[in-house]
A and B are shown apart, each in its own frame.
Chain A
Amino acid sequence: MSDQSLTLPSAVSEPQAGEVEINLSAGEIGQLSLWYLIWRRFLRNRLAVAATFVLLLLYLMVALAEFITPYDHLISNEDFVARAPQLPRFRDETGQFHFRPFVYGTTTELDTYNLDWVHKDDTTQMYPLKLFVKGAPYKLLGLFPSERHLYGVDAPGTVFLLGTDRLGRDLFSRIIFGGRISLTVGLIGVSLTILFGSVMGTISGYFGGPVDTVIQRFIELLMSFPSIALWAALAAAMPADITIVTRFFLISIILSLIGWTSLARQVRAKVLAFREMEFSSAATAAGASHFRIIMVHMLPNALSHIIVIATLAIPGMILAETALSFLGLGILPPAVSWGTLLQDAQTVGVVIKKPWLMLPGAFVIVSVLSFNFLGDGIRDAVDPFAL
C-alpha cells in the first residue's frame, strides 16, 4: 500500500476527489476548463508555488523600490566608501540583549600601507533600526508623494544592510533599483519573443511550403550566429546619445531577436501537429477561415506550451542582460542593473577584500532559479490528463 502511494502520489488523491464529484453528479463535473485543471495541478507543485511567491516578492520590491530602500541609489557618500555590510544586531558588546535590533556607527581610518579607507564598527554608537522613518521625499509608483521609507536609522547613523560600493552608495538600494531593469528586461524581451515566435511559428507551420522553408532557413541562420558576439555587435552599434529608456528597450529587442527562434520552432511543430488533427479538418469542413482555425483551434492549444517556453526563456534574458551590462555593452551608468553592479566585482582584489559587492549575483541566481522552478511547474501542469 505504501509502495503504491509512493509511485502514484497523485493517483491516490485524485480518485477520491473524482468520486465526490460523481456523487454530486451535477454542476461541476466535466465543466472544469483545462486552465482550471492546469491551475489545480500547478498548486500541487510546492517548489513552483514557492518560486512564484519569491518572484512576486521580488517584483513587488522593485515596483516599490523608493519605499523599500532607505537611500537614493545614485547619491554617493565619500565618508562611507566601500563600507562592509552593517548587520542588524540584538546583542551589544557587553552581551546585553536589545529587543529592538540596532546597528553600530562607523569609524574610518586610512590604511597608509594599502592607501585604502578602513571602516570599523564604532561600538560606542548604537542606532536602533526603525520602521517607516522619514527620509528623502519621493513619489511612490510615480503617483503618490511620500517621504517615509520602510526602514532606517536616525541621523547621523547609517544603515547599509548590504554594504556600500566604491562611491559609498548603499548597495541594497542599488540592487533593488537595478532589479527594476534586470527583472523587466526579461519580461519585455519575452513578450517580444512570444510575439515574433508565435506569429512566425504559426505562419511557418500552418501555411508550409516555400514560406515554411524560407522562415526555417532564416531561423537556422540566426541560430548559427554566436549569440554573445551578435548581441555585443548590435549593442555597440547603438547610438551613444539615446536616453536610458530607449537603450533599455533596444536591449530588450536585441535579446529577443535571437530568443524568438527556438519558440518559433516549437510553435511550428505544435501547429504542424494540430493541422493534421481532425478537429481542424472538421473546422475547415464547416467553412472556417484560416484566421479562425489559427485563433480558435491552433493557438489556444499551443498556448500552454508557449507559456512554458516563455517562462523558461526569461532567466536566459536576465542572464544575457547581466552579461551584456557586465561587459559594459548593455545598460550604461548612471542607470543601474544587476549586470552593471557586478561590473564593480570584476577584479580578484574586489572579490577578496570587498566580497559583498558580489551580492547582486545572489539576486540574479535567486530570480533565475525561481523562474526555472516556475517554468518546470507550469510544464508539468499543462498536461492535466497525464498522471
Chain B
Amino acid sequence: MTTTPTSPSDTAVASVESGSGQSPLLEVRNLKMHFPIRKGFLKRVVGHVKAVDDVTFSVERGTVFGLVGESGCGKSTTGRCVIRLLKATAGEIVYTMPDDEPVHIEALDPESLRIMRRHIQIVFQDPYASLNPRLTLKQIVGEPLVINNVSQGQDLQDRVAELLRRVGLSPEHMNRYPHAFSGGQRQRISLARALALNPRFIVADEPVSALDVSVQAQILNLIKDLREEFGLTYLFIAHNMSVIKHICDSVAVMYVGQIVEMTTTRQLFRKPLHPYTEALLEAIPVPDPRRDRHRIVLEGDVPNPADPPSGCYFHPRCAYAQDVCRTETPPLAEHTPGHLARCHFAAELELKGMTI
C-alpha cells in the first residue's frame, strides 16, 4: 500500500485503510430520491418518479462496491446523491472522515460541502460530455486544484504532469484539447481530474460503458491499480455483469429504484437468489459458440418508476412469478449471512449462477 505523501489526509488514509474492523467509509441509509412530475401552466405536482426508493448499503474501506441494473433503475441517481450532485429527498448518507468523524453528506451546508468535495470525487460515463471542449488538459485536470486554491503556476503544472503520468498519459500533452484524444484516453483524463484533490472515495458512474471492450479492460485495470496506489474506495456503477465481476468486491443489484439483491460478488455470481440477478447473469456473453444455453431473455422494459407494478416490481417479467408476487411486496431479507434478496421464493428457487 503506497500513497503519495502530499497531504496529511493521505497518511491518515494509509493508517486506517487496512483496519477492517472499522466503521464503513460510506453508509447510505434509506436513501430516497423522488422527482416531482409537474404538469400544466401552474406546474402543479401530479406525481413522483421514485428514481431511488429506500436504498440502504454500506461501502467498506478500500473495497469496490458495485451498483448494477438496467438503464433507469436509479443506480446513477444513487451515485449522484452520494456526492450531492443531487439533493436526496430523504435518507442519510454518512461518510467517515479520516479522523473517524461521521459526516452527514445530505445535511451539509454549502461551505462544508465544498470542503467535503475534496474527499469524494466522481468519474462520469460519457467521455465526450465530461470534458469541456474549450479547455486544455492542463485546465481540465488542474481545475479542482485551482478551485480549491491548492496550487497554481509552476506547482500546478507539475501536479498536473504527475497526475497525467499516473493515469498513463504523457505530460507533454497537457496543452492539447480534448478533441485530440480517444474515448479511453478521455476516461484517463477524467480519472486524473478526479484524483487531483487526493480523494479517498470515488464514485465511478459507468466509467467504461461507452468504451470498446479492449479499452474497457485497460481502464478497469487502471482503476484497480489506482485503488492500490492511492488506497481508494469506489462506488462502481455499471450495467454490465462482466465488468462487475472483474472489479467489484460486493454488489447491489437495483431494479426500479430498489435494491433487489446484495452480497459479495463471489456469492452473487455463484448463487444468485433473485430471478432478476439470474437474468442479468444470463445476459453475459460467453465466448464459446458450441455452448448450448437456455437463455432467460427478459421480456419487456423496466417499469415506469412513476407507476410501478403492484406487489413485487419484477413480477411482470419474472419467469417464476406466482399469485402472491402480484399482490404482496417482498421485503429485502437476509437469506444467508450477508446475502440479502427481495424475493418471496429466494429460499426455494434453484437459480443458475456461474463460477468465477
Contacts and interface: CB of A to CB of B under 8 A. Distances in A.
Given A213-B43, A278-B126, A281-B85, A286 B117 contact: yes
Nearest to B172: A26
Interface string B109-122: 00001100110111
Contact of A29 (B121, B124, B180): B180
Nearest to A280: B132
A51 to B, nearest CB: 27
Nearest to B174: A31
A300 B176 contact: no
Contacts of A385: 179
B114 A287 contact: yes
Interface in B141-188: 143-144, 147-148, 173, 175-177, 179-181
Contacts of A300: 132, 134
B133 interface: yes
Contact of A278 (B129, B173, B176): B129
A32 B177 CA distance: 8
B28 interface: no
A181 to B, nearest CB: 37
Residue from A34, A286, A301 having most chain B Cβ neighbours under 10 A: A286
Interface residues of B, number: 37
A121 B148 CA distance: 79
B122 A282 contact: yes
Interface in A11-44: 29-34
A-side binding surface: helix, strand, loop or mixed?
helix
Contact of A30 (B124, B144, B176): B176
A75 to B, nearest CB: 53
A285 B121 contact: yes
A276 to B, nearest CB: 8
B131 interface: yes
A212 to B, nearest CB: 11
B100 to A, nearest CB: 23
A278 B148 contact: no
Contact of A34 (B134, B173, B181): B134
A283 interface: yes
A292 interface: yes
Contacts of B136: 31
A87 interface: no
- Number of chain A interface residues as a range: 20 to 34
Contact of B177 (A31, A213, A279, A297): A31
A292 B177 contact: no
Nearest to A282: B130
Contacts of A146: none
Contacts of B147: 283, 286-289, 292
Contacts of A283: 143, 147
Contact of B193 (A34, A277, A282): A282
Contact of B148 (A213, A286, A296, A301): A286
A284 interface: yes
B235 to A, nearest CB: 13
Interface string B47-88: 000000000000000000000000000000000100101000
A279 B176 contact: no
Interface in A265-303: 277-279, 281-289, 292, 296-297, 300-301
A288 B121 contact: no
A217 to B, nearest CB: 10
A283 B148 CA distance: 11
A287 B112 CA distance: 10
Most buried by B among A33, A287, A289: A287
Contacts of B124: 278, 281-282
Given A277-B129, A287-B117, A33 B122 contact: no
Nearest to A384: B179
B277 interface: no
Interface in A285-325: 285-289, 292, 296-297, 300-301
Given A30-B177, A279-B130, A286-B117, 12 more contacts: A29-B180, A34-B133, A277-B129, A279-B129, A279-B132, A283-B147, A285-B85, A286-B196, A287-B113, A287-B147, A288-B147, A301-B134
20 contacts: A30-B176, A31-B180, A277-B130, A278-B125, A279-B129, A282-B122, A283-B147, A284-B85, A285-B83, A286-B144, A286-B193, A287-B113, A287-B114, A287-B117, A287-B148, A288-B143, A296-B135, A300-B134, A301-B134, A385-B179
Interface of A: 29-34, 213, 277-279, 281-289, 292, 296-297, 300-301, 385
